[in-house]
Structure 1
């Protein structure tokens, strides 16, 4: 189910695509202009997509969200087992304790939801 309409979901990448610079131009002016595209997109809440810009726009946001979720699941496992989060690892949908015990994410979801990210 798609998210509700919200200015939170603005799309900077679509506006950056309309800048008069080649996509391969990584010069100061081109990068500054693309960065400035964030301002009107955010203020106006331009929630739109086109030319596959949702993939470009969402890539870093989704990676960051995934990293926060992973660390929150590790924190839930750490609290449950009296361990330090930094001593835990993750792989294939599970948190792995130092002794090799694997805890599936689904078994930690409720605790993670109650944990501040």
Structure 2
């Protein structure tokens, strides 16, 4: 989804919520999605991007307030929350370092999982 926050249905109130989260952020706090440290300075984040506000109850499921910060890439991967059980903090499959190819090959061992997904790291 592209466009401004207002065009995406995230207007002034959302922007204020996210700014409040950023002001209160403790440097190095682990991201809920990937468990990597989060920093106010985008250059220190694994994806080199600014932290974004996330709705723990996805907007598609009625969530109205951004109540936590996540890396931009992690927030994009989470999307509507339907893949929460596939987050790296649970699966142990981590995002590649900044500058690495967006698609990574992973060797699977054992029987395939009944629900296999590929997360976009770009």
TM-score under structure 2 length normalisation: 0.26
* Larger-gyration structure (1/2): 1
Which is helix-richer, 1 or 2? 1
TM-score under structure 1 length normalisation: 0.26
